[in-house]
Amino acid sequence: VAAANPVGGRYDASMPLTENVELTDPIIQRFDILCVLQDVVDPVADEELARFVVGSHRRSHPAQQTDENDADAANPAAPEQAPPTPPPVADPSDVDKPLDQALLRKYIMYARNFVRPQLHGIDQDKLGRLYAEMRKESMSSGGVPIAVRHIESVMRMAEAHARMHLRDQVRDDDVDTAIRVMLESFIQAQKFSVRRSLARSFRRYLTHNRDYNELLLHALQGLVRDVQKYQRFKYRGMHEPDRIEVLCEDLEQKARECNIYDLTDFYQSPLFQRHNFRHDAARRVIVWSA
């Protein structure tokens, strides 16, 4: 894990990552994932981040930790066994509830120490085609060069994804997830002018077997940001709306680009409601409230 600050203190999206951080190709290629972190104004994400920071600060307060320590002292744990019992399977009703930090740490420690997934029967032809296409696009776009190390990175990420699910075999969906992470890393490391064309070129890999609700949420948040930008421009930044309406037709058009034609389940999903969206079927609009 490593971090690098952009030259001049601000990331220039018109240049690829390599020119922004002035690192040589051999060094860049040694990292499995490249994440470009930019401070983009997004009221929806900003509100969620603020709530997370405040909640994390409250949970880490000494008084809160003292209460937890007292509870642990009153209920001493049994002697550790090797290997320990795997973390309990979550109740289906709790799928959308986040894990507390203590349980998450135990889960990660167990997966890291006792789960060793193996690669068997993966689609080698798919990886070969992906490697050839990424090499071709990297040469034409002039961005981060692609080498054999990137295929090795896909293998490691596929194993990590299987380990995260406590599986002893790497499945096709593990490989698909690793490919998607690799491609998103590759695309965001390019200059802004070629990112959209690259996303279109690799769309079949980026959307394959992906949760449709996540794709729809991403598209919907993009439409909300477009409305916010328009409102900010219209009122010269003097008015920040706390309620935004998006036409269902606009989202349906975005969904059709991903071969999604029925949004009923998305409108009723906890993911949709958790991000402060409401579907007004009578008016054919989606309402977001701050």
Task: Quick: pLDDT tens for 135-156.
Answer: 888 887 766 778 888 889 999 9
The Cα 232–Cα 238 span in angstroms is 7
pLDDT at 50 over 70: yes
Given 206, 234, 257, which residue is the final one in a domain?
206
**pLDDT number for residue 76:** 56
Same domain, 178 and 224: no
For residues 290 and 23, the model is more confident at 23
Same domain, 230 and 201: no
**Domain range for 275:** 212-289
Number of residues that this document lists for the chain: 290
Given 206, 232, 250, which residue is the final one in a domain?
206
Same domain, 263 and 145: no
The domain that holds 166 is classified in CATH as 3.40.50.300
The Cα 12–Cα 19 span in angstroms is 9
* Nearest residue to 198 (alpha-carbon basis) of 184, 210, 206, 187: 187
Measured CA distances, 220 to 97, 176, 241, 269 (Å)? 22, 24, 17, 14
The Cα 213–Cα 268 span in angstroms is 10
CB 214 within 8 A of CB 274: no
Given 177, 206, 235, which residue is the final one in a domain?
206
Give me the residues paired with residue 277 across strands. 288
**pLDDT number for residue 107:** 94
Same domain, 185 and 159: yes
Same domain, 247 and 183: no
* Nearest residue to 263 (alpha-carbon basis) of 241, 245, 242, 286: 286
Same domain, 26 and 131: yes
Same domain, 192 and 260: no
CA atoms within 13 A on the CB side of 202: 30
pLDDT at 287 over 70: yes
Same domain, 173 and 248: no
Same domain, 182 and 239: no
> Tell me: the pLDDT tens digits for 64-114?
656 555 555 555 555 555 556 655 554 545 555 677 888 999 999 999 999
pLDDT at 176 over 60: yes
* Nearest residue to 178 (alpha-carbon basis) of 165, 160, 202, 191: 160
**pLDDT number for residue 104:** 92
Same domain, 16 and 142: yes
The Cα 115–Cα 93 span in angstroms is 26
CB 248 within 8 A of CB 285: yes
Beta strands in 33-133 (DSSP E): 118-119
**What pTM does this model have?**
0.62
Same domain, 122 and 196: yes
